[in-house]
Every structure is written in C-alpha cells, then in structure tokens.
Structure 1
Amino acid sequence: MRNVPYTGGEKESLKVSLDRHRDVVLWKLNGLDEERARRPMTPSGTSLLGLTKHLAAVEYNWFCETFGRETEPLPFDDDDPEADLRVEPDETTAGIVAFYERARAASDKVIDELDLDSRGTAWHGATVSLRWVLIHMVEETARHAGHMDILRELVDGATGDHDGA
C-alpha cells in the first residue's frame, strides 16, 4: 500500500489518497464467498458488495460523466435511490469487482489527462473542478471503506485497512 507523499504535489497526493482507499475497498472483499460478500449486514440492507457497486457507479459518474467522458450503463434509477447499492441476483462478486476496476481505470484516465482546475458539469448541474471531484471522491471512498471495515468485521471478524493490519 502506497503512502501519501509527505511533500508531493497536490494532484499526486490526492490521487494516492484515493488509491489507498480504493485498495481497501477491494481488500475488504478478499477471501469472501458469494454469500458473505453480498450478505446484508444492516437493517437497510447494506452489504460489502453493494458498497463496491455503488462506489464503481459514482466513480464513473463523477469523473467520467462530469467531464464528458463515456461510461458503461450505470445502475442509477430516479425512481429507486437504492438501485446502485443493491446487488441483483444475477450479479457476482467477480462481475462487480470488474465493474469497479473498469470505473477506476476510466477515472484514472480522466485524472491523468486533466488539470486540477479543469471544469465539468455535475449530475445536479453545478460546475465543479477536477480538484473538487478528487476531494469529494477521497471523502466518499474513505467513508464507505470505513463502513466496509465494520461490515467485514461483522461478517467474519476481519479488521484493518490492508494486509498485516
């Protein structure tokens, strides 16, 4: 796991911070079978795999759609605000992890190609900078990685944010 550089540039530091949390998301699924990965662990139905699906969708949305890049179909539904968090019966851990990895690669391409001051239009119509999107996604991913830490502990007692934690 890379550490955020103590004296790195702004873009590099934000990207490494995001990558650290992204890696935790994937690590939280390591070693789980399908049932445990998709098991709802809260009364609202939150699962490790559902959070991974949500994070993939919001990565595509914030980095790609905001800056006019293509995405694959995303699981958002105006009539069902939980659609992007729900794991459908035909979805698998491997499929959702692959979705997350594709979203991450597409997002990384945007990050690499644009300056921090580049502007795009968010889904709600506001103009945002790449800097703002990076900060937002560090927050979003860290928040859900923390949720995943608690869920994983409830599933099988595993804790920490990386191997050897």
Structure 2
Amino acid sequence: MIEPNPKADLLRYLQDGRDALLWKLDGLSEYDVRRPLTPTGTNLLGLVKHIASVELGYLGDTFGRPFFKDDVPSWWYTEESEPNSDMWATADQSREEIIELYHQAWEHSDSTIATLPLDAIGHVPWWPEERREVTLHHIVVRVITDTQRHTGHADIVRELIDGSVGCLKGNENMHEGDRAWWENYRRRLERVAREVGDS
C-alpha cells in the first residue's frame, strides 16, 4: 500500500506548473517573450515575474519568512512600484534576471513547505483582516491554482505567437493533427458557433 504524502503531491503539481510556465519561453526572441498579446497586456515574461512575486509573497511573507537577498534586483517588490509592475518586464529587466528570481522563489517556497507543517498558521498581510489567517495547506493550494491559471494564459499567448501548444514538455496532451486537420477542426467549431448564435 502506498503511504500518502500530501506535501509531495502538492509540490509535484506546483512544480509541474512552474516547469510548464518556463517552457513557454523556450526558443522565443526577446521581443516575443515581452510583447503584449491581449488588450490588458498579458505577456509571457510578465507572467513569470508575476508568479515569482506570488510565491515569494504567499509562501514567504505570509508565514513570517520574507525573502531577503543582497542580489535581489532593485525593481523587486517595493510599495512604490507602479500598478501592474509585476506583470511586465522593463527594458532593463533581463529575461535571465526574472527567471533566476523565479528559481530563487522556488527554493524559498520549497523551504517553507518543507519546514512548516501543512496546518501551520500564517497571515496574508494584503487580505482583509477577517480573512487573513490561513494554513500553509490553504496557501499552497492557492499558489498551485494561481500558477496553473497563469500557465494556461501562457499557453494561449504562446499559441498566438508561433502556434506552439501543449501541457508539458514531452507530454503536449494535444491531438496529433497536422495543420490542415486543425484548420478543419477550427472551421467546424466556427460553423457550429454561428449556427447556434444565429438561431
């Protein structure tokens, strides 16, 4: 019989999301990882930067384990930051810097998860007072959900850039159709949508 290991299960799903998110940057130019592809500016490098901040906030500050390092870039996580500054990279913020910060966030988060029991109590400083008290288990599930949500955004953004799709490297989880198959499939969906929409 397999012994349950809730922390290992949670970490596996968190790491799957992390790996998939970074995979979406592979092989793209600096322009393509930065360019906004939705009316609200969603872009790949910004999604990575945002999720790094999510991990460091929820799995750091919430449990009295703030992230402090001498080599943290000056643009990181200040109250003076402009709105949405965690959702895009400025010209002087390199892809390498942001990816390295995300890797440091993983280490910091994984250390919090390893160190504390899942029923450890934390306080989310930016939530309303009546909801601030949380358990580590609650927050890990929230971070997994947020990571997977934004990885889905990244999947769509990457498809808009160059047609690349998939769940995980080596496990794309997509039907093996060629370009013609997908064009026919899309036309069929469009036809059904118009038929129903016009009825």
Aligned sequence identity (%): 38
Return the offset for 1:76: 5.4
Contact 1:76 1:83 in 2 (8 A): no
Cα deviation 1:78-100 (Å, max 9, x = unaligned): 77431111211101111111111
Corresponding residue to 1:104 among 87, 103, 106: 106
Corresponding residue to 2:24 among 25, 28, 32: 28
> Does the residue aligned with 2:64 lie in a helix, a strand or coil?
coil
Return the offset for 1:30: 1.0
Normalised by the length of structure 1, the TM-score is: 0.90
Return the offset for 1:59: 0.3
Contact 1:54 1:85 in 2 (8 A): yes
Q: Structure 2: any 5+ residue segments left out of the alignment?
A: 173-199
Instruction: Confirm whether residue 127 of structure 1 aligns to residue 123 of structure 2.
Output: no
Normalised by the length of structure 2, the TM-score is: 0.75
Contact 1:75 1:83 in 2 (8 A): no
Q: Structure 1: any 5+ residue segments left out of the alignment?
A: 1-5
Instruction: Confirm whether residue 54 of structure 1 aligns to residue 56 of structure 2.
Output: no
> Does the residue aligned with 1:66 lie in a helix, a strand or coil?
helix
**Number of the residue aligned with 2:150:** 144
Distance 1:15 1:67, change over 3 A: same
**Number of the residue aligned with 1:11:** 7
Q: How many residues are aligned here?
A: 160
Contact 1:64 1:71 in 2 (8 A): yes
Contact 1:48 1:151 in 2 (8 A): yes
Instruction: Confirm whether residue 161 of structure 1 aligns to residue 157 of structure 2.
Output: no
Query: Structure 1 counterpart of 2:56, which letter?
Result: Y
Cα deviation 1:90-147 (Å, max 9, x = unaligned): 0111111111111111111101111000011112240111000111011100100000
Detail structure 1 runs of 4+ shifted over 4 Å in the superposition.
76-79
Larger radius of gyration: 2
Contact 1:60 1:103 in 2 (8 A): yes
Q: Give, in whole Å, the separation in 2 of the partners of 1:34 and 1:102.
A: 22
**RMSD of aligned C-alpha atoms?**
1.8
